[in-house]
Homo-oligomer: A and B are copies of this chain.
Amino acid sequence: MKPPVATLLSALLAASAAHAAAAPVPAPATQVARTSAEVLAGSAPSDWRTPDPQNTLYLELTAGRVVIEMAPEFAPHHVANVAALARGGYFDGLAIVRAQDNYVVQWADPDAKKPVGAAQRTVNAEFERPLRGLTLVRLPDPDTYAPEVGFIDGFPVAADPSVGRAWLVHCYGMVGAGRDNDVDSGGGTEIYAVIGQAPRHLDRNVTLFGRVLAGMDLLSVLPRGGGALGFYEHAGERVPIKSLRVAADVPAAQRTELEVLRTDTPTFQAYLAARRNRTEEWFKVPAGHVDVCNVPVPVRKRHAPVAAGGRSAG
């Protein structure tokens, strides 16, 4: 059950190398034992990427804004359809209709009758995709559910190389398209976000298409519904949605400018090492491992304007 020592050493050495780059004369004690805060503090601007506003959603609630990054590499048709629904104003005035403790919140048209405009009401399932063409930043740790797990562009991903397939993983904050029993009955008119222990049994059973970058606590604190599956029993309990918009359609001055830590860098390897074996003084027994859903990929307010000709979203 333990990862090969060589793998652990490799991660530690990657951390060490990253640290050496940031601080030419590191103290030996910190060379292989940085905290995640230290790793992030020592990161370079190039360790961060700016999400593409065309693939970013703003869910506007009375309490504030939830920012969702979509994953067109994994669910291109759902991403396009949710954007079309948003652009048609489908969600404006609808509501969060369900909050099930330790599971999901979900928003939808309570009557399931609102016209979808130029969008489609349903989209065929995008539960998984070919592994080919993807570069999984793999965790060395054993996973309960999948042969391989890791990260791609900040998203938690599982893969089965024996069949050449990959899929997004139901971690805290992941966003998907609810469906009925028919696998092709989803499409984005019902959207859920995970607010509890990773429901990994949903992996490959429903289309994930994004993850919450900011405002997660606006969803996680919502009163749980008293009905079956956490549905609110009375219309008055529902949480109104002011709007769901594509960030690119929002005036620049009104956008939430975020950066996401790149997951294909030595800095991310150092961050993984710090998550795997906490070195803060408080910790006495290093875990030696980390679950893919226990690696929240860091997000921060963008602290410098993007220079002309600078990096586009990646």
Contact = CB atoms under 8 A, between A and B. Distances in A.
A203 B288 CA distance: 11
Interface string A258-283: 00000000000000000100100111
Nearest to A276: B201
B222 A142 contact: no
Given A102-B296, A224-B221, A285-B205, A144 B183 contact: no
A127 interface: yes
Interface string A107-145: 000000000000000000001000000000000011111
B201 A145 contact: no
Interface in A194-227: 196-201, 203-205, 216-217, 220-224
B141 A144 contact: yes
Contacts of A2: 147
A171 interface: yes
A147 B1 contact: yes
A101 interface: yes
Nearest to A288: B145
Contacts of A197: 171-172, 196-198, 291, 293-294
| Residue of A200, A278, A285 with highest tally of chain B CB at under 10 A | A285
A63 to B, nearest CB: 10
Contact of A221 (B181, B222, B278, B281): B222
Contacts of A221: 220-224
Interface string A285-314: 101111101101000000000000000000
A204 B281 CA distance: 15
A284 interface: yes
Contact of A102 (B183, B216, B288): B216
A156 to B, nearest CB: 11
A289 to B, nearest CB: 5
Given A144-B143, A200-B294, A289-B145, A283 B205 contact: yes
24 contacts: A1-B142, A1-B146, A101-B220, A102-B220, A127-B285, A143-B144, A144-B289, A145-B288, A171-B197, A172-B197, A181-B281, A196-B196, A196-B220, A197-B197, A197-B198, A197-B293, A197-B294, A201-B275, A203-B285, A205-B284, A217-B224, A220-B221, A220-B224, A221-B221
